[in-house]
Structure 1
């Protein structure tokens, strides 16, 4: 799995990270996993055509001492479709900017 990983996070920061994600992402059915939806302006051509598969999103997972941002762009509606793919450059930039904002706003030291 391609991903961006922030590791060696202080355990004291984990509750603040979870709170931030509760405010800026959608909690999934899995503990410590959140979804961040992509706007239509970030969709690739196939994703844009697949109205029935929207919304598209990436996962953020909080672990014992890490936060993981997945580069796989998923559909909320289906598990297998050509529109599910690794992030484009523009989508990767969005994911990295989301991660950077989390680090900056919470003043995390990793």
Structure 2
């Protein structure tokens, strides 16, 4: 799996991240997993055309010392479809900016 990973997170920063992610993205049903909705402006043409598959998400997985952002744009409605694919350049940049903005907002230095 392709991922954007920030590691060596300190325990106190883990608690800040967990609180923020819980409040912002809620419980995904699996401990430490969060579904980040991808705004329609960032969707590929195929994804925009697949109204029945929407909404689309990218997953964040928070562990005790790392945050891993999965680079797969997926839907929770289907397991396989042409609209589920790895992030293109604009989606990748959006995800990195989103994760970096979370760290900046929480004043976590990495």
TM over 0.5: yes
What count of residue pairs does the alignment treat as equivalent? 110
Per-residue deviation at 1:27?
2.3
CA distance in 1, matches of 2:12, 2:39: 32
Match in the other structure for 1:50: 50
CA distance in 2, matches of 1:36, 1:80: 19
What's the RMSD between the two structures over aligned residues? 1.0
CA distance in 1, matches of 2:79, 2:88: 19
Q: Secondary structure at the match of 1:81?
A: coil
Q: Would the aligned equivalents of 1:26 and 1:36 in 2 still touch at CA under 8 Å? A: no
Render the CA deviation track for 1:22-81: whole Å, top value 9, x for unaligned.
Answer: 233242010010001111111101111110000000000101200011110011200111
Displacement over 6 Å in runs of 4+: none
Per-residue deviation at 1:105?
1.1
CA distance in 2, matches of 1:29, 1:20: 17
For residues 7-86 of structure 1, what are the structure 2 equivalents within 5 Å?
7-86=7-86
What stretches of structure 2 of length at least 5 have no aligned partner?
none
What stretches of structure 1 of length at least 5 have no aligned partner?
none
